[in-house]
Copies of this chain bind each other. A is one copy, B any other.
């Protein structure tokens, strides 16, 4: 992953509405959510939400699919994975014992 994209991704997540959106979409899973429904769910105005969705999209954190005249958004798990991998790069090489608990916490047993 390019550092520039990583910075964009973290900047995207540093804003409350956008963090809420990504967590909402992560919970929504493969079904995703329509842009309008996201705006309603989080009580944010339409154009503000559209701007924020665009920021998340540019940062590689969400995908979307047009569906009729609506647009369905999904958390981009591949993008998220590469972001987290970029952050943890060389963690194990330097300190396996410190690294392990961090990574273990992310292994859910589903």
Chain A residues within CB distance 8 Å of chain B: 3, 6-7, 10-11, 13-16, 19, 22-23, 26-30, 75, 77-78, 80-82, 84-85, 87-110
Closest 4 CB pairs of A and B: A29-B95, A92-B110, A29-B94, A11-B14
Q: Is the CB of A78 within 8 A of B101?
A: yes
* Contact partner, A10, options B13, B28, B107, Cβ 8 Å: B13
- Which residues of the partner chain B approach A106 to less than 8 Å between Cβ atoms? 81, 84-85, 88, 102-103, 106-107
A29, A89, A90, A106: residue with the most chain B Cβ atoms closer than 10 Å: A106
- Which residues of the partner chain B approach A88 to less than 8 Å between Cβ atoms? 26, 106, 108
| Copies of this chain, count | 2
Query: What 11 additional pairs, Cβ within 8 angstroms, besides A10-B10, A11-B11?
Result: A10-B13, A13-B14, A23-B87, A26-B94, A26-B99, A27-B94, A29-B98, A29-B99, A77-B99, A84-B106, A92-B109
What distance in Å separates the Cβ of A42 from its nearest Cβ neighbour in chain B?
13
